[in-house]
Amino acid sequence: MSIDKILAEKRSKIIKKWRNAIIKSYPEDGQGFLKREKSQFANPVGLTISTEIETLYDEIIKGENTEKISSCLDSIIRIRAVQDFKPSRAVAFVLQLKQIIRDELGSGHSDKMRILDNRIDEIALLAFDVYSACRQKISEIRVKEVKNQVGKLLERANLISEIPEQRPAL
């Protein structure tokens, strides 16, 4: 059987394993909740993981649409970037897919697997970019809040005087 066929056939099994692997990164006593298929509003983290990795899997196999891949990564990593994870742990789930696929494929298919490995490596790098962007955003928000709380006040109360955009003519 061709690798593509196997990957299509085992799609749901691989995705399930992948999801479980991701959920395992959370504290044990919270995992049951994350797995529960509640409404997307009661369990946004669990549901985001489940739905996004499905799309992600399909796109990884096809290997075409980088934008879609980025958007899936963003949905998951935006959450993990503000949870109790070290940076490496926040993005590790991408690499976990390798072993899961390999376990399902068994031996052989080494050429195809190499291509897939490379693709997943690429996506792991992309994940790193996404993670950094999220963290960058957090810092920006922090700075903005401070500025908004104090800077505006000083400016409006005429307590500070900034250099004007244009120098007044002498």
Choose between 43 and 96: whose C-beta lies nearer to other proteins: 43
Choose between 62 and 152: whose C-beta lies nearer to other proteins: 152
Chain-centroid distance, C-alpha 25:
14
Residue 37 is classified by DSSP as -
Chain-centroid distance, C-alpha 48:
10
Choose between 41 and 166: whose C-beta lies nearer to other proteins: 41
Choose between 157 and 163: whose C-beta lies nearer to other proteins: 157
Choose between 8 and 150: whose C-beta lies nearer to other proteins: 150
For residue 34, the minimal CB distance to other proteins (Å) is 6
The CA distances from residue 30 to 26, 33, 43, 79, 117, in Å, are: 7, 6, 12, 16, 31
For residue 66, the minimal CB distance to other proteins (Å) is 21
The CA distances from residue 42 to 29, 77, 117, 144, 146, in Å, are: 17, 19, 35, 30, 32
For residue 141, the minimal CB distance to other proteins (Å) is 5
Nearest to 97 by CA among 161, 2, 11, 15: 15
Binding site for other proteins (CB under 8 A): 26-34, 38-45, 78-79, 82-84, 137-138, 140-142, 144-146, 148-149, 152-153, 156-158
Cite the DSSP H helix spans in the chain: 3-9, 11-23, 28-35, 44-62, 66-80, 87-91, 93-105, 110-146, 152-156
